[in-house]
């Protein structure tokens, strides 16, 4: 006798399945395809119940990405869950200049060899759906220095926001060009934010310059950068503020910011030859007295001088970082590795990522969420 299950029960079961299985099930029926790919409530519920932590490793000049499962990579040593992805909007000769992630979506900026324009996309690597944002109001001269300075989500309104600036654009409207002049141009610092709900860009006030050329860390619906203090951009009110760093020992420095259990966190070390780093958590947001040192993470068996150390993701079981030690050979031979350092034991494990200097890695969580219309067919994995 056939067993009948009501649709709401089937949906509840599917909400607990991984993205890879759900994409395959889109071929079962038109109804299942609609639920999986076009129902925003299903996408939100699935994302909340089934978190899959992954790393997206890519070469700025290539169209192929590698997606790695950050859970099974260390728990089983099995790399069968790794996947090769194609960037659906990148053509030969284009270069990805920045990536940042939020709720399973990735914001990517793409420059073209044949023009000075820079396109900005919001892309879901799991489904391959993407949206090209309206043309940026920031104009560039000679080189595309428009930077994606952050990407975030407002849960109350369901609004995705993108922050960009054009620090190096040339302000030549009121300057005459002269090849004999030492003052050929002035810097014109502009910032704009994009709202997915309104689908428009809006210019915002800039009270100070952000020194680091990195995307802001998303936590508590705000973007954060490290300077002498923490610079924060509130996505709801679109205003900047400052916050104090942890009160650590003299000689130590904050290297990276992240998010852990919805709290802003920070990594610090004594110097670039450290074998351990500390992870601090701001238990009450925007209250400097609530900074607490939560973990001491082992990142090497011995002090090694590092070219870079980047935070990829803080998970329940451990922190994942990307490390590149200073190489004695050419810079292009720098060996990048993913490190997972356990929270409850002095243990770390490494996996090689790339030997190319222009490689890059970001952490993201798989989801079925999207912004705007579907612009391509969903990915199908073997």
- Each residue of 19-32: pLDDT tens digit? 989 999 999 999 99
Q: Residue 357 falls within a domain, yes or no?
A: yes
Do both 16 and 112 map to the same domain? no
Q: What is the CATH number of the domain that holds 309?
A: 2.120.10.80
> How far apart, in Å, are the Cα atoms of 182 and each of 142, 143, 172, 185?
18, 20, 14, 9
Q: In this predicted structure, which of 38-42, 98-102, 112-116, 180-184 has the lowest mean pLDDT?
A: 180-184
Task: Say yes or no to pLDDT of 176 above 60.
Answer: no
- Residues across the chain: 382
Domain assignment of residue 381, yes or no: no
- Residue 14 DSSP SS3: helix
> Which pLDDT value is given to residue 43?
95
- Return the structure tokens found at 339: 């490190």
Using alpha carbons, select from 79, 218, 250 the residue that is nearest to residue 150: 218
Question: For 246, phi and psi rounded to 5 degrees?
Answer: -60, 150
Do 340 and 307 have their domain in common? yes
Does residue 174 lie within any of the structural domains?
yes
Q: Is the pLDDT of residue 338 over 60?
A: yes
Core vs surface per residue 325-356: b (16+ CB within 10 A) or e: beeeeeeeebebebbbbbbeeeebebbebbee
Indicate whether 373 belongs to any domain.
no
Strand pairing partners for 239? Answer: 234
pLDDT at 13 over 50: yes
With a cut of 90, say whether residue 263 has pLDDT above it. yes
Give the pLDDT score at 183.
36
What tokens appear for 82 in the block? 């790794």
Q: Are residues 10 and 67 in the same domain?
A: no
Q: Do the strands 83-86 and 95-102 form a parallel or antiparallel pair, or are they unpaired?
A: unpaired
Is residue 9 situated within a structural domain?
yes
229 and 131 housed in the same domain: yes
Domain tally, the chain: 2
- What separation in angstroms does the CA of 193 have from each of 10, 209, 291, 323? 40, 16, 30, 31
User: Is residue 63 situated within a structural domain?
Assistant: yes
Q: What is the mean pLDDT of residues 290-306?
A: 84
Residues 7, 149, single domain; the answer is: no
**Percentage of residues in the chain having pLDDT higher than 70:** 75
Q: Which of 93-102, 279-288, 363-372 comes out lowest in average pLDDT?
A: 93-102
Helices (H) and strands (E) in the chain, counts: 5, 26
| Per-residue model confidence as pLDDT tens digits over 31-45 | 999 999 999 999 999
d(Cα 59, Cα 353) in Å, to the nearest integer? 11
Q: Is the domain of 22 the same as that of 153?
A: no
Q: What is the pLDDT of residue 170?
A: 37
Strands in 188-252 per DSSP E: 191-195, 200-203, 217-219, 222-226, 230-234, 239-243
Q: What is the pLDDT of residues 60-89, one digit of tens each?
A: 777 778 888 887 766 555 556 678 888 898
Question: Between residues 213 and 96, which one has the greater pLDDT?
Answer: 96
Angstrom distances, CA of residue 371 to CA of 18, 87, 256, 298: 20, 17, 29, 39
Q: How many CB atoms lie within 10 A of CB 93?
A: 10
* Mean model confidence pLDDT for the chain: 79
Share of the chain above pLDDT 90, in %: 34
Residues 44 and 69 in one domain: no
Q: Is residue 185 part of a domain?
A: yes
Which comes out higher in pLDDT, residue 201 or 183? 201
Q: pLDDT higher for 347 or 86?
A: 86
Q: How far apart are CA 369 and CA 373, in angstroms?
A: 11
Owning domain of residue 141: 51-365
Is the pLDDT score of 254 beyond 90?
A: no
Tell me which of 332 and 108 has the higher pLDDT: 108
Residues 58 and 43 in one domain: no
Cα 57 to chain centroid distance, Å, stands at 11
Q: Hey, what long-range contacts does 61-67 have (CB within 8 A, 24 or more apart)?
A: 61/95, 61/358, 63/87, 63/90, 63/91, 63/92, 65/125, 67/125
Residues 234 and 328 grouped into a single domain: yes
In a domain, 378, yes or no: no
- pLDDT in the model for residue 187: 42
Residues 45, 123, single domain; the answer is no
* Region of 112 on the Ramachandran plot (φ > 0 left; ψ -120 to 50 alpha; else beta): beta
Residues 17 and 108 in one domain: no
* pLDDT > 90? residue 15: yes
List 194's β-bridge partners, or say none.
162, 201
In this structure, the answer to whether residues 167 and 24 fall within a common structural domain is: no
């Amino acid at each position: 006798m056939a067993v009948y299950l009501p649709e709401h029960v089937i949906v509840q079961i599917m909400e607990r399945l991984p993205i890879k299985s759900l994409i395959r099930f889109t071929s079962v029926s038109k109804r299942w395809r609609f639920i999986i790919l076009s129902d925003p409530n299903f996408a939100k519920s699935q994302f909340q119940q089934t978190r899959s932590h992954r790393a997206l490793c890519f070469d700025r000049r290539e169209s192929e990405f590698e997606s790695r499962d950050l859970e099974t990579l260390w728990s089983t040593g099995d790399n069968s869950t790794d996947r090769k992805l194609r960037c659906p909007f990148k053509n030969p000769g284009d270069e990805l200049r920045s990536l940042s992630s939020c709720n399973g979506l990735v914001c990517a900026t793409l420059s073209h060899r044949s023009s000075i324009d820079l396109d900005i996309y919001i892309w879901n690597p799991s489904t391959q759906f993407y949206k090209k944002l309206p043309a940026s109001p920031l104009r560039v001269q000679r080189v595309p220095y428009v930077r994606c300075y952050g990407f975030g989500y407002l849960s109350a309104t369901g609004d995705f926001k993108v922050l960009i600036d054009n620090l190096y654009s040339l302000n030549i409207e009121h300057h005459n060009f002269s090849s004999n002049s030492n003052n050929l141009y002035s810097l014109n610092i502009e910032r704009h934010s994009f709202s997915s709900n309104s689908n428009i860009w809006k210019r915002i006030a800039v009270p100070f310059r952000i020194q680091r050329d990195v995307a802001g860390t998303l936590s508590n619906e705000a973007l954060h950068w490290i300077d002498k203090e923490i610079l924060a951009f509130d996505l709801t009110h679109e205003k900047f503020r400052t916050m104090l760093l942890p009160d650590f020992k003299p000689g130590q420095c904050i290297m990276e910011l992240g998010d852990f259990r919805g709290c802003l966190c920070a990594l610090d070390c004594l110097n670039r030859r450290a074998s351990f780093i500390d992870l601090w958590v701001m238990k009450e947001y925007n209250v400097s007295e609530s900074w607490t040192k939560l973990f001491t993470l082992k990142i090497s068996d011995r002090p090694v001088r590092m070219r870079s150390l980047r935070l990829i993701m803080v998970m329940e079981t451990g922190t994942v970082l990307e490390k590149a030690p200073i190489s004695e050979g050419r810079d292009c031979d720098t060996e990048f590795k993913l490190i997972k350092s356990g929270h409850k034991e002095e243990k770390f494990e490494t996996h090689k990522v790339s030997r190319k200097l222009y490689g890059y890695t970001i952490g993201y969580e798989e989801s079925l969420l999207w912004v705007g219309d579907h612009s391509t067919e969903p990915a199908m994995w073997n």
